[in-house]
Amino acid sequence: MSRGSNQKFKFTYLMKVMLEKTDDEHSLTMPQILEELYKYGVSAERKSIYEDFKDMANFGIEIIKEQKGRETFYHIAGRDFELAEVKLLIDAVQSAKFITQKKSKTLISKVKGFVSEHQAKQLQRQIFINDRVKTMNESVYYNVDDIHTAINQNKKIKFKYYKWDINKKLIERHGGIYFVVSPWALLWDDENYYMIAFDDWDKKIKHYRVDKMMYIEVCNDERAGKDEFKNFDMAKYSKATFGMYHGEKTKVCIRFANHMCGVFIDRFGKDIIFISKDENHSELVVDINISPQFFGWIFSLGNDVEIISPREVVDELREYTKEFIKKYE
């Protein structure tokens, strides 16, 4: 058999054929394998293919041989990602609000490369990027990379921070000055990406929406805030900060009907302590960043939930409610 034009790439193309064309439910016969290689300008003999199959095992790619009647079939035994796992990855990409629709389609296309073309067709049937709100800042994908670079290099970053105006345009905050902070972590909360950083000027830990950050640059100055982040608990920070809005952190006692307990476990985790008050009611104490978003969450839970203490938070909620009702009188 004459040698093909891409003969030196035989092993590479053979792996490509087996990964793309075969899986647990789809196999190829040896003539079919040779035919697929020929499409890439590669000719081969059966014996050399058998040797290549053995070599593939060194790369973690096992080829299963299966006899069906008079024909012998070959297929990939397993993959780094199972079909169900790839479906989960695609679901995560689709649901992430901080990834634009354009970038979502690009990422999904790449993720589909983890499975065979037959399995990819199953994924295609389930892929649906709906009209939910997605960020319009295409650079968020690269912002995350820049922030990681700064964290790994122990450097500060500078960036411009934006907000929406009534004309649905992003405008610069604080007159377009550069924010300079020390990034320490990235947090995905409530379908948005946030950078957790230390602000030298205010000597505080703050957070910023990554999709509202632009013109990011890694600075030469080393990060500040090492002591503040030494014992920083990201989980507690996320639980206490409703909607990622700033507010004064306060220990709040909440009384609730026992059938509402799942709401608080979902929000604060299973480590919270319920204190029984009577047969049908319990209380818990949690650290909360007091904000209108927190009050709105309490309202949404209805009459079976009540803030008990501290008194200043109860009074603040009462005043907030009065002002809210005035608008509808």
Question: Domain check: are 146 and 215 in the same one?
Answer: yes
CB atoms within 10 A of CB 294: 22
Query: For residues 283 and 277, is the Cβ–Cβ distance under 8 A?
Result: yes
Dihedral sign from CA coordinates of 241, 246, 247, 249: positive
Domain hosting residue 99, numbered range: 83-126
Q: Is 135 within a domain?
A: no
Q: Tell me which of 202, 232, 262 is where a domain ends.
A: 232
- CA 189, distance to chain mean position in Å, is 9
For residue 308, the one-letter residue type is I
For the chain, list residues with pLDDT below 50: 1-2, 129-132
Per residue in 277-295, pLDDT (tens digit) is 988 899 999 888 888 888 8
> Which of 205, 232, 259 is the last residue in one of the domains?
232
Predicted structure pTM score: 0.57
Task: Quote the tokens at residue 40.
Answer: 């890439």
> pLDDT tens for residues 71-94?
899 998 877 777 778 887 887 777
193 with 267, same domain: the answer is no
The angle formed by the CA atoms of residues 223, 142 and 102, to the nearest 5 degrees, is 155
| 20: three-class secondary structure by DSSP | helix
Same domain membership, residue 253 and residue 220: no
Say if CB 230 and CB 167 are below 8 A apart. no
What DSSP element (H or E) covers 50?
Answer: helix 46-56
Burial of 214 (0-12, 13-18, 19+ CB in 10 A): middle
Q: Number of folded domains in the chain? A: 4
Distance, CA of 145 to CA of 108 (rounded, Å): 19
CB atoms within 10 A of CB 96: 19
